[in-house]
Amino acid sequence: MSFLSVRSLVILAAPFALACAVNPATGERELSLIGEGQEIAMGREADGEISAQLGLVADAALQSYVSRLGRSLAAKSERPDLPWSFKVVDDPAVNAFALPGGFLYVTRGILAHFDNEAELVGVLGHEIGHVTARHSVSQMSRQQLQQIGLGVGMIFSEGVRNYADLLAAGLGILNLRYSRGDETESDELGVRYLSRAGYDPGAMVGVFRMLASVGGDGEGARVPEWQLTHPYPENREAHIRQVIQSVADTMAARRSVDAGRDRYLDRIQGLVYGDNPREGYFKGPLFLHPDLEFRLRFPEGWKTVNQRSAVAAVTQAEDALVVLELAPEAQDPAAALQAFLTQEGMQSGRARAGESGGIAWARAPFAATSEQTELRGEVMFARHGGHVFRILAYAPATVWPGVSGPASRTMDSFARLTDPAVLAVRPWTIRVVTTRAASTFESFWQRNPMPIPLEEAARLNRLSPGDRVPTGARLKRVVGDPLP
């Protein structure tokens, strides 16, 4: 279940004296209420949560490769003594993000779309820039350390917010996003660090073109740029070209490392591409989980999301939620239900218990009140395959009567998965191949079938379907069978 249950990491307001400090990356004086030690402690706590809940790619050689590049780059930054950490998280989204104190992450999704090592280093440089310029710390200082949740800042992709936006209320996620000014500054710092490492900073241009192509929305469907935390990729490209041109002579003198395309392609050989079906996948409203061997049918027409520690659906109006997650500390469904219903502010209806298809379960309706609102819902705990699952559905009291039926039927649908084809499903992977003859990319795709559309396969290789591909070219091919 690609479930994400990163709890809110709360920083409590404290009686700090107003202070100013010099920003290490920019040299400018700025408001600073958080010392370096506290910054590192915040990042380290969040790092443990993210590593456990998002999960890391199980490829030691790839993790070592990214870490080595990142640490080498950070050593040339203005804050080399931070406890820098670089990890590849097991997420198909095209994204990268940073936490205070030097804890950085790239997703396997973004690694699949890079064309060479220099582009990876450019993105690492951008994320290092967020840390060296203390963007998150400055933002928290401007908020005067009011109680905030430190969530995953979606740094490179405006389109990966679906989980946080859909489930923020239900799972307590708060995103800490940077301003467009911070993003522009980090782009410039990325150029600085790329150059210091000896790469051609023009690799950043390739990154922005990739982001623009992966975004996929036509001009008519785009959100206005002023509403976004990130400038449009093409505008970032135009700005970074100006930055590179203004310091071209100085940077050219430092250039000593090639783009490393072959090195990079060798490293991503076998990388999982797209959603990993072993962690669960949707077929319409039906959710299938091969590893945990269960199936669940969510209400028709609701929006669904699948993360490592929760799978959920919300109404189109986003006023009702059904979420399934593991209850790791629970052993018995009835005891888990009793513990849930005896929480402060909770009122329960008639509890029921039973067994269906070898799955023991206990469930009950409930009402929960707070100073702000009254919620009504239903909860079910079910034991299956050595795990106890919790299915929780709720909505404001005025909304619940209209959604209680579909939510209850979702709980009824929880059952053992028995389809052999689904149980045996395997993830798609990237295989780097060398062309044996010149042709168009479309001809190559026809000779080497992939489970992804032609246009997507072309974008993955920075090509258009009609582009000519010479003999001996190295191309990424996605291999695997269509999902059953």
Q: Which of 483, 382, 341, 468 is nearest to 426 (CA)?
A: 483
The CATH number of the domain holding residue 381 is 3.40.1000.10
Let me know if residue 337 belongs to a domain. Answer: yes
Amino acid identity of residue 383, one-letter, is R
Q: What is the pLDDT of residue 344?
A: 84
Identify whether residues 253 and 332 lie together within a single domain: no
Let me know if residue 378 belongs to a domain. Answer: yes
Sequence-ordered alpha helix ranges (H) in 331-440: 333-341, 400-412, 420-423
Q: What is the pLDDT of residue 151?
A: 33
Identify whether residues 291 and 359 lie together within a single domain: yes
Identify whether residues 304 and 257 lie together within a single domain: no
Identify whether residues 26 and 67 lie together within a single domain: yes
Let me know if residue 5 belongs to a domain. Answer: no
Let me know if residue 295 belongs to a domain. Answer: yes
Identify whether residues 256 and 329 lie together within a single domain: no
Identify whether residues 293 and 174 lie together within a single domain: no
User: Does residue 53 or residue 475 have the better pLDDT?
Assistant: 475
Q: 425-442 in b/e burial notation, b at 16+ Cβ within 10 A?
A: bebbbbbbeebeeebbbb
Identify whether residues 315 and 439 lie together within a single domain: no
Identify whether residues 381 and 239 lie together within a single domain: no
The pLDDT of 458-473, averaged and rounded, is: 97
Identify whether residues 314 and 413 lie together within a single domain: yes
Which tens digit of pLDDT belongs to each residue from 1-18?
A: 433 333 333 322 233 333
At which of 423, 447, 471 does a domain end? 423
Let me know if residue 1 belongs to a domain. Answer: no
What is the value of pTM for the model shown? 0.79
Q: In sequence order, what are the residues at sequence separation of 6 or more whose Cβ sits closer than 8 angstroms to the Cβ of residue 183? A: 155, 229, 230, 231, 236
Let me know if residue 18 belongs to a domain. Answer: yes
Identify whether residues 207 and 233 lie together within a single domain: yes
Looking at every residue in the chain, the average pLDDT score rounds to 82
Let me know if residue 165 belongs to a domain. Answer: yes
Let me know if residue 205 belongs to a domain. Answer: yes
At which of 230, 247, 269 does a domain end? 269
Which tens digit of pLDDT belongs to each residue from 276-311?
A: 999 999 999 999 999 999 999 999 999 998 887 789
At which of 269, 293, 324 does a domain end? 269
Identify whether residues 360 and 447 lie together within a single domain: no
Q: How many CB atoms lie within 10 A of CB 191?
A: 24
| Residue 463 belongs to domain spanning | 428-479
Whether the pLDDT of residue 155 is over 50: the answer is: no
Identify whether residues 322 and 381 lie together within a single domain: yes
As for how many domains the chain has, the answer is 3
